[in-house]
């Protein structure tokens, strides 16, 4: 048994070494496209459903949106069409938003997640230009309008994108849902401005939290809705530096760079206190992707590339839908103009 395990580990490590060597030989643009195609090949089924193999085989709207972004970036028109057809057929609600979770052949949770709706709307606009399909633009703008209509609220004298329609009453927000590039593409200037101001406040003394709540006097970090843990920087918040570093606005990139000093120590740790202290002993590719984006924004592209290469190897050793998605998206957003340039 020990010999078999040792042999399997040796094969795994050898494969990871091959992947790392191949990645280092590629240009950043080619590495991004390889990562995008790898995610699409591994997680997108023939019918266009994104399958979370490591999480019970279910599907969530964010995964469909990630595949749409990556297929548009990769120029894979056929796969984009299949993913969007499955998404609108199985997840689109009467109000135009996307139900969050599908499992066992049906929608298992019909509540929308604002990040999925925002990313999918952006992907449709990118695809409209990339593939010369005006219908994608029409559908993307319609999804963006539904998002503005049903997933925003007025709080602290601002119009704010909340986590979904369910979060409007208490102004519950997830800062990692806010995408400056998507807001700009959809013409949601008020949401872009409020997201920047709120992120500025949330990062004045620490890392951005997974969750927060907008009060009349401002914004405060919060624990996950329905959870028993306090505020922290974890799997959700790791997306925030990526979205900020991708922005065309220097103010957003400066916000991304703020995180780098606090992420420099053990950058792969997926759970941290808001002061940056690691609270887990494992590494996760999504955490490395977030740290890489912060380093990139802070003017340290060598460190960023090193962490993304490390994330790629880690993802081969321990494949995960979420890790693969965010390594591919981070490479695409930071190292290419495949989702549109500034």
> Is 239 domain-assigned?
yes
The pLDDT of residue 227 is 84
The structural domain count of the chain equals: 1
Strands 211-215 and 218-222 turn out to be: antiparallel
Q: List pLDDT tens digits, range 199-243.
A: 999 999 999 999 999 998 889 999 999 888 899 999 999 999 999
> Is 3 domain-assigned?
no
> Is 101 domain-assigned?
yes
pLDDT of 19 over the 80 cut? no
Residue 44 has φ and ψ, to the nearest 5°, of -100, 120
- Structural domain span for residue 55: 26-335
The pLDDT of residue 142 is 98
> Is 16 domain-assigned?
no
Find the CATH number of the domain harbouring 261.
Answer: 1.50.10.10
> Is 303 domain-assigned?
yes
21, burial (CB in 10 Å: exposed 0-12, middle 13-18, buried 19+): exposed
Query: Contact 199/175 with Cβ under 8 angstroms?
Result: yes
CA angle 48, 186, 250 (to 5 degrees): 110
> Is 20 domain-assigned?
no
Q: List pLDDT tens digits, range 79-88.
A: 999 999 999 9
| 229 against 150, higher pLDDT | 150
pLDDT of 299 over the 50 cut? yes
The pLDDT of residue 10 is 40
**Confidence class for position 45, pLDDT limits 50, 70, 90:** very high
| 214 against 157, higher pLDDT | 214
Q: Which residues pair with 103 in a beta bridge?
A: 106
> Is 327 domain-assigned?
yes
Per the structure block, which two tokens stand in for 265? 């120590």
Mean pLDDT of the chain: 93
pLDDT of 5 over the 50 cut? no
> Is 341 domain-assigned?
no
The pLDDT of residue 15 is 42
**Confidence class for position 272, pLDDT limits 50, 70, 90:** very high
């Amino acid at each position: 048994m020990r010999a078999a395990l040792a042999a399997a580990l040796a094969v795994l490590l050898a494969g990871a070494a091959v992947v790392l060597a191949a990645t280092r030989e590629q240009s950043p643009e080619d590495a991004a496209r390889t990562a995008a195609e790898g995610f699409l090949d591994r997680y997108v089924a023939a019918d266009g459903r994104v399958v979370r193999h490591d999480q019970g085989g279910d599907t969530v709207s964010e995964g469909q949106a990630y595949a749409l972004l990556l297929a548009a970036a990769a120029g894979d028109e056929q796969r984009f069409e299949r993913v969007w057809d499955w998404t609108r057929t199985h997840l689109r609600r009467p109000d135009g938003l996307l139900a969050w979770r599908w499992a066992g052949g049906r929608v298992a949770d019909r509540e929308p997640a604002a990040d999925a709706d925002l990313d999918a709307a952006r992907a449709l606009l990118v695809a409209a230009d990339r593939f010369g399909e005006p219908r994608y633009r029409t559908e993307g703008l319609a999804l963006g309008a539904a998002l503005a209509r049903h997933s925003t609220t007025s709080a602290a004298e601002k119009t704010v994108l909340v986590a979904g329609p369910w979060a409007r009453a208490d102004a519950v927000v997830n800062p990692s849902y806010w995408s400056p590039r998507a807001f700009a593409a959809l013409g949601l200037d008020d949401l872009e401005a409020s997201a920047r101001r709120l992120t500025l406040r949330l990062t004045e003394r620490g890392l951005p939290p997974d969750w927060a709540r907008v009060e009349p006097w401002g914004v405060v970090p919060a624990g996950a809705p329905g959870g028993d843990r306090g505020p922290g920087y974890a799997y959700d918040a790791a997306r925030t530096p990526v979205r900020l570093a991708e922005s065309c606005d220097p103010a957003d990139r400066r916000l991304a760079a703020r995180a780098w000093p606090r992420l420099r120590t053990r950058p792969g740790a997926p759970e941290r206190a808001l002061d940056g202290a690691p609270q887990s002993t494992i590494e996760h590719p999504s955490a490395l992707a977030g740290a890489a984006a912060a380093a990139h924004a802070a003017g340290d592209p060598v460190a960023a590339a090193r962490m993304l290469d490390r994330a790629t190897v880690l993802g081969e050793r321990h494949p995960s839908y979420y890790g693969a998605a965010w390594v591919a998206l981070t490479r695409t957003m930071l190292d290419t103009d495949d989702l549109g340039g500034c």
